[in-house]
C-alpha cells in the first residue's frame, strides 16, 4: 500500500512535468496514451489492485481514481488551450485584401502612344534607333558635313569626336534607308539629347517622333495632308494648321508646321521633302525616289494636351504630378 502511494506521487509529478512541455495537440495525444492508454502507466497501476488484500483495495482504488480523473481533467484543459491558440493563427477572411500598386503610364508615354496610334492607323510602321549615335548618322549622312555651320542648330553632347548622344531622331531615316529598299513608310519615336540647361521650355533630354515616307512621286501635298490629318486627330477636328518656310539641311524645301486649336499658333513640327544629298548618302537614286520627312516634338504636344507650362514636370518624377494623369 505504501508502495502504491509512492508510485502515485511519482506518476503525478512526472505527468505534470510532461504536460508542461507539450507544444501541440499531437504531443498531447501521445501523452494521453502514455498515461491512460490500454498499456498506460495509470492503467497498469489499476492492474496491481488485484494483488492487494481487499480492505486495502478500496482505499487504493479511490487513490487511483482520483489520479486518473486529475490527469483526464488536466489533459482536457490543455486540449482546449491548444485549440484556441491554433484558432488564433487561422486566416481572418473578413480582413480587407492587400492592395497591389500596378503603376501606370508616364503622361509623356501615354501621349506618345496616342501619337503612334494615329500614324499606325495611317499605314506607318514603327522603327527604332540607338540613342548613342555616330556622327555619320546624326550629321554627315543628313547633309551636315563636319565644320558646317548648320551643326549649330543642334547643341550636341559628344561622347568622342565621332560619337554622340543623338540630337534628333532623323538618323533613324538614314539607318532604315541603308537597310531597306523603298517604298518606306515609318515613324520612329524616341529620346534625344541636347546640351541645353533645364528651364520651363528646355530639357537636355526630350522626345521626338520622326516620320519618313519614301516612294515614287511623293509630293509636298502628301506631307501637308498627312500632318494636317495627324493634327486634327490629336487636337480635334477644328484644329487649324499652318506651314511656314524653314530650313533643315536634310530637307528641301523645308517647313515648320504650326498648330492652332483656339489658343494661338504653336510650332510643333519640322518637316520637308527629303534632300537629294540624303538619298545619295544611302545609295538611293534621287531621280528615281522622292520622299517627305518630319519630326514632331513630343514633349510640346504633351504639354499642350495636358495643359502644362513647364517641361521639367515630365522629368522630375514627382508622384503628386504623375498620379494626376494616371489612367
Question: What are the residues binding ligand PHE (CB under 6 A)?
Answer: 168, 170, 248, 251, 270-272, 293-295
Of the pair 157, 322, the CB lying nearest ligand PHE is at: 157
Q: How far is the CB of 152 from ligand PHE (least distance, A)?
A: 12
With both helix axes pointing from N to C terminus, report the angle between 220-235 and 107-121 in degrees, rounded to the nearest 10: 130
* Beta bridge mates, 193: 205
Of the pair 247, 321, the CB lying nearest ligand PHE is at: 247
Q: How far is the CB of 212 from ligand PHE (least distance, A)?
A: 8
Of the pair 107, 272, the CB lying nearest ligand PHE is at: 272
Contact status, residue 267 vs residue 283, Cβ threshold 8 Å: no
Collect all residues with Cβ–Cβ distance below 8 Å to 73 and sequence separation of at least 6.
none
Of the pair 35, 230, the CB lying nearest ligand PHE is at: 230
Distance from CA of residue 196 to its chain's centroid? 29
Q: How far is the CB of 187 from ligand PHE (least distance, A)?
A: 11
φ/ψ region of 60 (left if φ > 0, alpha if ψ in -120 to 50, else beta) reads: alpha
Q: How far is the CB of 208 from ligand PHE (least distance, A)?
A: 6
Q: How far is the CB of 113 from ligand PHE (least distance, A)?
A: 20
Q: How far is the CB of 297 from ligand PHE (least distance, A)?
A: 8
Of the pair 78, 300, the CB lying nearest ligand PHE is at: 300
Transcribe 251-298 into DSSP letters. Answer: EEEEEEEEEESSS--EEEEEEEEEPHHHHHHTT--TTT-EEEEEEEEH
Of the pair 61, 225, the CB lying nearest ligand PHE is at: 225
Residue nearest to ligand PHE according to CB distances in the complex:
295
Distance from CA of residue 119 to its chain's centroid? 25
Collect all residues with Cβ–Cβ distance below 8 Å to 126 and sequence separation of at least 6.
116, 120, 186, 187, 188, 189
Collect all residues with Cβ–Cβ distance below 8 Å to 222 and sequence separation of at least 6.
213, 292
Amino acid at each position: 500500500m505504501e508502495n502504491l502511494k509512492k508510485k502515485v506521487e511519482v506518476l503525478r509529478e512526472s505527468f505534470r512535468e510532461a504536460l508542461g512541455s507539450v507544444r501541440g495537440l499531437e504531443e498531447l495525444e501521445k501523452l494521453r496514451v502514455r498515461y491512460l492508454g490500454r498499456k498506460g502507466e495509470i492503467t497498469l497501476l489499476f492492474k496491481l489492485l488485484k494483488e492487494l488484500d481487499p480492505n486495502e483495495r478500496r482505499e487504493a482504488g479511490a487513490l487511483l481514481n482520483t489520479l486518473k480523473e486529475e490527469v483526464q481533467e488536466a489533459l482536457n484543459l490543455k486540449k482546449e488551450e491548444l485549440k484556441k491558440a491554433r484558432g488564433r493563427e487561422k486566416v481572418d477572411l473578413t480582413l480587407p485584401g492587400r492592395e497591389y500598386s500596378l503603376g501606370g503610364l508616364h503622361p509623356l508615354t501615354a501621349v506618345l502612344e496616342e501619337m503612334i496610334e494615329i500614324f499606325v492607323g495611317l499605314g506607318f510602321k514603327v522603327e527604332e534607333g540607338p540613342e548613342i549615335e555616330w556622327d555619320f548618322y546624326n550629321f554627315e549622312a543628313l547633309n551636315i558635313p563636319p565644320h558646317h555651320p548648320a551643326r549649330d542648330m543642334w547643341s550636341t553632347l559628344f561622347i568622342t569626336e565621332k560619337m554622340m548622344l543623338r540630337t534628333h531622331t532623323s538618323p533613324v531615316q538614314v539607318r532604315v534607308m541603308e537597310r531597306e529598299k523603298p517604298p518606306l513608310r515609318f515613324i520612329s519615336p524616341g529620346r534625344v539629347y541636347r546640351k541645353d540647361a533645364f528651364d520651363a521650355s528646355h530639357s537636355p533630354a526630350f522626345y521626338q517622333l520622326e516620320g519618313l515616307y519614301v516612294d515614287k512621286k511623293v509630293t509636298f501635298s502628301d506631307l501637308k495632308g498627312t500632318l494636317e490629318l495627324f493634327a486634327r486627330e490629336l487636337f480635334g477636328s477644328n484644329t487649324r494648321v499652318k506651314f511656314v518656310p524653314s530650313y533643315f539641311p536634310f530637307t528641301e524645301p523645308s517647313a515648320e508646321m504650326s498648330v492652332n486649336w483656339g489658343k494661338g499658333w504653336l510650332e510643333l513640327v519640322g518637316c520637308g521633302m527629303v534632300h537629294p544629298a540624303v538619298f545619295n548618302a544611302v545609295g538611293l537614286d534621287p531621280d528615281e525616289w522622292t520622299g517627305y520627312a518630319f519630326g514632331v516634338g513630343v514633349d510640346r504636344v504633351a504639354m499642350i494636351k495636358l495643359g502644362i507650362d513647364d517641361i521639367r514636370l515630365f522629368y522630375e518624377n514627382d508622384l503628386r504630378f504623375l498620379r494626376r494623369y494616371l489612367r
